[in-house]
């Protein structure tokens, strides 16, 4: 159909064109909308996992640093 419309062929069946515009395109639009929503949810979930991993690494590093500092303080008091 694209070639016929683009190249202005005169063999276009108006009923087929109308059916495509009124029946097929709305279904395609709805499907694309659903696909975009799913893709968006996947991207958001991946970003959340990345941010959660970064936070955990930073938190664990900070916690490990605090534990080392406490351990160092404890060893200085025993000497």
The pLDDT of residue 27: 93
Q: Are 17 and 1 in contact (CB under 8 A)?
A: yes
The pLDDT of residue 61: 78
Q: pLDDT by residue (tens digit) across 6-61?
A: 777 677 888 888 888 899 999 999 999 999 999 999 998 888 888 888 888 888 87
Give me the residue spans of the domains in the chain. Answer: 2-78
Give the whole-angstrom CA distance, residue 2 versus residue 9: 10
């Amino acid at each position: 159909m694209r070639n016929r419309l683009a190249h202005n062929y005169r063999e276009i069946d108006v009923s087929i064109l109308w059916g495509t515009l009124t029946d097929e395109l709305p279904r395609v639009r709805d499907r694309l909308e659903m696909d975009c929503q799913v893709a968006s949810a996947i991207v958001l979930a991946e970003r959340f996992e990345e941010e959660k991993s970064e936070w955990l690494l930073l938190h664990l590093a900070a916690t490990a640093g605090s534990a080392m500092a406490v351990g160092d303080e404890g060893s200085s008091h025993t000497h």
